[in-house]
Structure 1
Amino acid sequence: MGVYVDQNTKVIVQGITGGTAKFHTKQMLEYGTNIVGGVTPKKGGTEVEGVPVFNTVQDAVDETGANASVVYVPAPAAADAILEAVDAELDLVVCISEHIPVMDMVKVRRAMEGKKTRLVGPNCPGVITADECKIGIQPGYIHKKGHIGVISRSGTLTYEAVHQLSEAGYGQTTAVGIGGDPVIGTDFIDALSAFNDDPETEAVVMIGEIGGAAEEEAARWVDANMDKPVVGFIGGTTAPPGKRMGHAGAIISGGKGTAEEKIRIMNECGIATADTPAVIGETMINVLKENGLQEKCKTH
């Protein structure tokens, strides 16, 4: 089980003939991901890692029955690549590309309204359902199958949380990197809702960062709707106001979006927060104990 992807997901790689895409296609195949095709205009008929390449997403879908894609297309063309996948009516598009202009993503979001496709990203590490399907750039070996969902705006903190949980013997259902840009497809509430509905997931780690109000909105949603425990962490507690930290969306403006404000609201809404990245796993284990879920979630 897990959310968004599983062993039955049929994946195509957009931009498959690029260096980064080739590298990660190999990694995804080695993890066991069912990659059925790739797309690069004018390269149709060739192969990458034994995967057939098509000229268009529609050609790939018609030929392979693919239902998901991962986008490794350079920023200037990435928005068009997403929209091509939406037009082909894929269930899921995971966009790894970074530095996509914000206005391009605003147009993508508008064009996707009412469409069936779910977008994860851009500027994200992707989605991985442990031991079943890896779409993106995550290090697969740190993931272990289990009962904890992970949602994060930060790629590296996703890996940190997953690694801590796996090392302590607590596997994951799915890890979803939602991306750190100001305009993204899938937000915290979308992913929290999916984990809340997933029978295999018993608890969720939610990793946010300074900037915007997504974490506050998510915390209030958790308080009102979530029937599984959530542990939180906010990156950027030491960032000075007005300083952009790493991600385009991580900027504090007008006193809003500070780490302190996010942590305060999360705590008010019943979310236990880790003080540093080093204790995310430990904080989750304590919460599992409090909720009588420790044995149920222990995987070895």
Structure 2
Amino acid sequence: MNLTSESKVLIQGFCEFISESNIAQMKAYGTNLVAGVNPGFGGQQKYDLPVFDLVEEVVSQFGHIDTTIICVHPYQVLDAALEAIAANIRQIIIISAGVPPLDMVKLLRKTETGETLVIGPNSPGIIVPGKILLGIQPSEFYTPGSVGIVSRSSTLTHEVAWELTKAGLGQSISVSIGSDAIVGSSFLQWLQILDEDDTTEAIVLIGQLGGESEEVAARYITETIDKPVIAYIAGRHAPPTKHWHQSGNLAIVAGRNSNFGTTQSKLTAFETAQIPVAESPRQIPELLKKVMKANE
């Protein structure tokens, strides 16, 4: 991954998923935003960025682009992402929410054989505190440190970061992989990234109801990750009949038992893997300090 202040960053689209204040915040944080792409508006300026009709025009003028932040309407996301891939952009962050699942399937098939990392959709992006902000994460909640955060939630990611900051536990990287039904990168990919990151000493994983990504992550942590990890499951006190659309609830699938995707299934997986699970965001710093001390 290339997450430095020198990384060249492009924004594809300007709609309700990103605002002028978000762009100003990225610039103030030192993010190297070079241009925007909005077909039909080439040659104009928007939010103090030069606007082009095509991604290839940006590459022609500025050279290789490291990351694109996609903020187009959901049904335009696939075309925007494919255009970025064709321009050899290796990091794609999709802020837009509600991308059609079939479009995401097509996008992920396209990236299977390459090195493109897709974050989102429905993701506030990535922040490396004190270095670079890619997306709409509220930077005021973060402070540089050694705790990596990987999350399926959006706003809860910021809440956890703020709890850590208040407790004197700074963060190395924070990423929300997205909360649409089908997302690009997985917990496993980001656990590996954080495990290999020299600045990360401990990891907080934030999961939520639906799907099996937390159960798979628990097994992966046991088998592969050497750094201390704690978890938190959002919505653990939700009524059993509640269906969480944003978490991609796929519990009713042929061959799955009735416990699939439930809070209990996820808690059992983490308990089996001997990974501490916080009961609330406020408890996360306390648990984290314990596991980090035990790992010294």
What TM-score range do you get, normalising by the shorter chain?
over 0.9
2:41 is aligned to 43
2:102 corresponding residue in structure 1: 103
Equivalent residues of 2:17, 2:71 under 8 A apart: no
Percent identity over the alignment is 37
Matched-pair contact (CA < 8 Å) for 2:181–2:245: no
**Matched letter for residue 284 of structure 1:** L
User: Secondary structure at the residue paired with 2:18?
Assistant: helix
Contact 1:243 1:252 in 2 (8 A): no
Structure-2 residue corresponding to 1:295: none
Question: Match for residue 259 of structure 1?
Answer: 263
| Aligned with 1:31 (options 29, 32, 51) | 29
Quote the offset at 1:198 in angstroms: 0.7
Which residue of the partner structure matches residue 283 of structure 2? 279
Partner of 2:210: 211
Moved more, 122-131 or 21-30: 21-30
Deviations 1:29-61 (A, max 9, x none): 122111011100011111123221111111112
TM-score (norm 1): 0.92
Aligned partners of 1:60, 1:155: CA distance in 2, in Å?
Answer: 30
- Runs of 4+ aligned structure 1 residues displaced above 3 Å come to 16-19, 250-254
After TM superposition, give the deviation of residue 141 of structure 1 in Å: 1.1
Q: Does residue 149 in structure 1 map to residue 148 in structure 2?
A: yes
Provide Cα deviations, 1:233-290, integer angstroms capped at 9, x if missing partner.
Answer: 0112123345222515146433201111111111211211101222122221222222
Give, in whole Å, the separation in 2 of the partners of 1:30 and 1:289: 35
The residue correspondences of 1:213-228 to structure 2 (distance < 5 A) are 213-228=212-227
Q: Secondary structure at the match of 2:174?
A: strand
Alignment map for 1:154-173 (pairs within 5 Å) = 154-173=153-172
Aligned residues: 290
Match of 1:6 in 2: 4
Structure 1 vs Structure 2 CA RMSD: 1.7
Q: Which moved more, 1:188-197 or 1:245-254?
A: 245-254
* Cα distance between partner residues in 2 of 1:239 and 1:252: 15
Q: Deviations over 1:200-246 (max 9, x none)?
A: 11000000001111011111011000010001001121233452225
SS at match of 1:232: strand
Preserved contact between residue 209 and residue 250 of structure 1 (Cα < 8 Å): no
Question: Given residue 265 of structure 1, which amino acid in structure 2 is its aligned partner?
Answer: A
Alignment of 1:64-79 (within 5 A): 64-65=62-63, 66-79=65-78
Residue aligning to 1:185: 184
- Give the deviation of 1:291 after TM superposition: 1.9
Cα 1:4–1:226 shift into 2, 3 Å: farther
Aligned partner of 2:255 in structure 1 is none
> Could you say what secondary structure the match of 1:138 adopts?
coil
Unaligned runs of 5+ in 1: 293-300
* Matches of 1:240 and 1:251, distance apart in 2: 17
Tell me the amino acid that sits aligned with residue 16 of structure 1: F
Secondary structure of the residue aligned to 1:20 is: coil
Q: Deviations over 1:88-129 (max 9, x none)?
A: 111201000001111111111112221222110011110111
Task: Quote how far apart the aligned CAs of 1:21 are.
Answer: 4.2
Q: State the distance in 1 between where 2:187 and 2:162 align.
A: 21
Shift of 1:74: 0.9
The superposition leaves residues 66-102 of structure 1 with CA deviations (integer Å, 9 ceiling, x where unpaired) of: 2110011011111211111111111201000001111
Query: What is the one-letter code of the residue matched to 1:123?
Result: N
- The residue type equivalent to 2:147 in the other structure is I
Partner in structure 2 of residue 139 of structure 1: 138
* 3-state secondary structure, aligned to 1:183: coil
TM-score of the superposition, structure 2-length normalised?
0.93
Q: Secondary structure at the match of 2:218?
A: helix
Question: Does 2:249 align with 1:245?
Answer: no
More deviation, 187-196/18-27: 18-27
Q: Distance in 1 between matches of 2:94 and 2:214?
A: 21
Q: Match of 1:286, as an amino acid?
A: K
